[in-house]
Chain A
Amino acid sequence: MARRQLELEIMRYDPEKDKAPWFQSYSVPCEEDWAILDAVNYVKENLDTTLAYRWSCHMMVCGSCGMMINGEPSLTCKTFIRDLPDKVKIEPLENFPIERDLVVVLDDVMEKLRMAQPFIIRKDDPPPPDTEYTQSRAALYKFKQYTMCINCMCCYAACPQYGLDPTFIGPAALAMAHRYNLDSRDQGKSERLDILGQHDGVWDCSFVGACSEVCPKSVDPAAAIQQMKVETAKEYWLQKLPGGRK
């Protein structure tokens, strides 16, 4: 198999030694079918064992390996070197504090995901253990696309509104909330929209659309958010009706 020599410029940061991040260059001999993750693994195994980064499944389902590759938030296991030039700049995901090297602090988005209340909410008592909710295929397809999120956080890296104001709840959390709002088994839409209709929720989005463009699983969080804006606007007026909700 043909080989290609790639020049990787990787951002480094050691919190105990460095005042600010800096770039280190590595020359990596690559097989032509490699993903850029393979090149980073080569660096770790053969050139510099001190490099810190996250990865796991190598097949676009775990969401661990999100990084900036030549300025674009991507999964390193999904970005193939055949689609990259010979010089590749690898940085940690944008808009997140850097823990060390390519590892970012994700505490904020973990909290945001919780705020979306990502579970079925029922107003009635739970059904007896041996009964089931029935859901047609049509009802499933209504929200299926939004279940595909692997929490890689590339959308937060792409979102300039999150960058300008990190109190914004963000694309993945909102797409997750929308997934449950659309689920026919769920009865918690009003409750979620009450939270997401606050100032740092749905209204901070200005529909840049970058989140959907970089999403490796085609979740389309931008569409979810616009639909939630419509629902929240409707809900606002419905709550004002006498004898209406709440």
Chain B
Amino acid sequence: MSRQPYIRPMPKATWYLRNGRYKVYMLREVTCLLVGFYSFLMIYGLAALSQDTPQAWNAFLASQQNTFMTIVHAVALLYFLLYQTFAWFELAPKAMPLQLGEKKLPGSVIVIAHYVAWAILSGIIFFATGVI
């Protein structure tokens, strides 16, 4: 009997459309574009802030004040929360298993700790910028 193993081709650009699990993974990974975008927006802001007069900074703030950017920020916030922040927190226990004696700490404890820390940190940022 002669062997002729058949190799099924994997569609390199569209494999993730095969099922829901892969689609969610791709939606999660493309949040890196948001991370990059806001990082460069911050650098742009720092460049404006580094000027000795307020004009550049005020122009930077004004550049955000239109309907298009409002929609961008609103959508980005929602997408980022769902596909980056919440996803990252839910996966955190996998990378840091804690065992006390013979009992493994349930993953939910680590996840809740992340949410609490996140709430506190966000609160500090809002307090420092005068939002609250």
Contact = CB atoms under 8 A, between A and B. Distances in A.
Establish whether A and B are touching in the complex (CB under 8 Å).
Answer: yes
Interface of A: 13, 15-16, 20-21, 71-72, 94-95, 97-99, 105, 137-138, 141-142, 160, 163-164, 206-210, 213, 220, 222-223, 226-227, 229-230
Contacts of B96: 227, 230
B15 A163 contact: yes
A16 B18 CA distance: 30
A227 B98 CA distance: 11
B84 to A, nearest CB: 13
Contacts of A164: 10, 12, 15
Given A213-B21, A223-B94, A206 B29 contact: yes
B102 interface: yes
A13 B95 contact: no
Top 6 A-B pairs, shortest CB-CB distance: A97-B5, A15-B4, A223-B94, A226-B95, A98-B6, A163-B10
B1 A16 contact: yes
A98 B5 contact: yes
A15 B25 contact: no
Contact of B94 (A72, A163, A213, A226): A226
A94 B19 CA distance: 13
B94 A222 contact: yes
Nearest to B21: A210
Nearest to A182: B97
Q: Say which size band chain B's interface belongs to.
A: 20 to 34
A239 B94 CA distance: 25
Contacts of A138: 99, 101-102
Given A141-B104, A222-B94, A210 B22 contact: yes
A228 to B, nearest CB: 10
A89 B18 CA distance: 15
Contacts, number: 72
B15 A207 contact: no
B102 A15 contact: no
Interface of B: 1-8, 10, 12, 15-16, 18-19, 21-22, 25, 29, 91, 94-97, 99, 101-102, 104
8 contacts: A97-B5, A98-B7, A141-B102, A160-B15, A163-B15, A164-B12, A208-B22, A220-B94
A239 to B, nearest CB: 21
Nearest to B100: A138
A209 B91 contact: yes
A99 B12 contact: no
A209 to B, nearest CB: 7
A150 B15 CA distance: 27
B31 to A, nearest CB: 13
A16 B2 CA distance: 7
A15 B95 contact: no
B5 A105 contact: yes
Given A141-B104, A210-B22, 10 more contacts: A15-B3, A16-B4, A98-B6, A137-B102, A141-B102, A160-B15, A160-B16, A208-B25, A209-B25, A226-B94
A138 B103 CA distance: 8
A94 B8 contact: yes
A15 B7 CA distance: 12
B54 to A, nearest CB: 43
Contacts of B97: 223, 227
A15 B4 CA distance: 5
Nearest to A94: B8
Given A209-B91, A220-B94, A98 B8 contact: yes
